[in-house]
Amino acid sequence: MSSHALSHPRFFVVELGGTWTRLSVASDVEQIVDARTQMIRTTTPQATLEWIFEQVSDQAGRPLEGIAVASFGPLNLERGIISMHSPKLAWRGFNLRQAFTERFPRALFSLTTDTQASALGEAVHGIGHDQGVIAYVTVGTGVGLGLASSQTGILSTSGHPEFGHIRVSRRMGDLFQGVCSFHGDCLEGLVSGPALAVRAGVPDATELPDSDSIWSDVCNELGSALATLTLTVAPNRIILGGGIASRPFLHEHVRNSMDRQIGVYLDGAGHPTSDTRIARPSLGVNSALIGAFAHLDRKFQSKDRTES
């Protein structure tokens, strides 16, 4: 009998977000609920990790058998190092894997990106359950993509997609140059929260009314991106989340734009219709924590199978 057959191991799950760091100690995903998660603002690596480690120290008693981290990117997943081009300057080159494994040498460690974790969370425990390959697209401060299925876990585990930086088709005559410091008018440079604020001349994209004319261009650009995603990966579901995409009117316009840009080409090809393909997230703010838990649990189960 395996050592954890009677009770599931206890995992420490961390979402290292660009703005907030959240964590939870859980033996199953039901324990990851808002009331039981703790959070602080993500500042420097030193201060943020010191706080994380303090929370672990407070968990005396049953041993912690694994630590799962879902981090902002870009990062080198194999080496566990945050990219030297990360917009978060203090974190450039920081070795997450080393920091956690040196502090907890006996715990199993897993690392993925926050968006990939959200994709896996929705695929295993959310609206993407048993849907085959699902795509999770987040549109907020940045634009990200994760691909996962409940059967095979996260797709592309050695690297991660950088979907936010693809080119999209734009309205003729739209001269906005975009805000991406690398590409100007890539997808993220056009439709992220900071892009919308500059585009509309407001301090914060949350102040933009739904009636603003900017949304027409934004929905068409997102429709172009999702058409590319559909034609490239053919996911069974596209879960469209994030602060910008949470506007109630937006999904329908993006869906119509995607349909228009694909045309009739996929009719009869066995693809889901766009009515069912684009969905809203179902796990709320906990999607990345739940996905990080699922990611580590898969690793734990396969290790246990290998050892038994």
For Zn ion, the closer of residues 149 and 224 by Cβ is 224
Phi-psi map region of 103: left, alpha, beta (phi>0 left; psi -120 to 50 alpha):
alpha
Smallest gap from residue 189 Cβ to Zn ion (A): 5
Shortest reach from residue 178's CB to Zn ion, in Å: 8
Whichever of 2 and 177 has its CB closer to Zn ion, that residue is: 177
Q: How far apart are CA 4 and CA 63, in angstroms?
A: 12
Query: What does the per-residue mask of binding to Zn ion show for 91-130, with x meaning CB under 5 A?
Result: ----------------------------------------
For Zn ion, the binding residue among 8, 170, 183, 271 (CB under 5 A) is 183
Work out how close the CB of 162 gets to Zn ion at its nearest, in angstroms, rounded to a whole number: 8
- Nearer to Zn ion by Cβ, of 162 and 304: the residue is 162
Name which of 195 and 279 has its Cβ closer to Zn ion: 195
Cβ proximity to Zn ion: between 190 and 292 the closer is 190
Number of residues that bind Zn ion (CB under 5 A): 5
Q: List Cβ neighbours of 249 (8 Å cut-off, separation of 6 or more).
A: 210, 215
Binding mask 159-178 for Zn ion (x = CB under 5 A): ------x-------------
Complex with Zn ion: residue 168 or 250, whichever CB lies closer: 168
* Least distance (Å) between residue 163 CB and Zn ion: 10
Instruction: Return the residues of window 5-44 that contact Zn ion according to CB under 5 A.
Output: none
Nearer to Zn ion among residue 142 and residue 281 (C-beta)? 142
Q: Which residues contact 203 (CB under 8 A, 6 or more apart)?
A: 197
CB of 185 to Zn ion, least distance (A): 8
Q: Does 180 bind Zn ion (CB under 5 A)?
A: yes
- Candidate residues 186, 195, 222, 278; the one interacting with Zn ion per rule CB under 5 A: 186
Span of 44-52, 122-130, 166-174, 186-194 interacting with Zn ion by CB under 5 A: 186-194
Query: Least CB distance from residue 184 to Zn ion, whole Å?
Result: 8
Residues that bind Zn ion (CB under 5 A): 165, 180, 182-183, 186
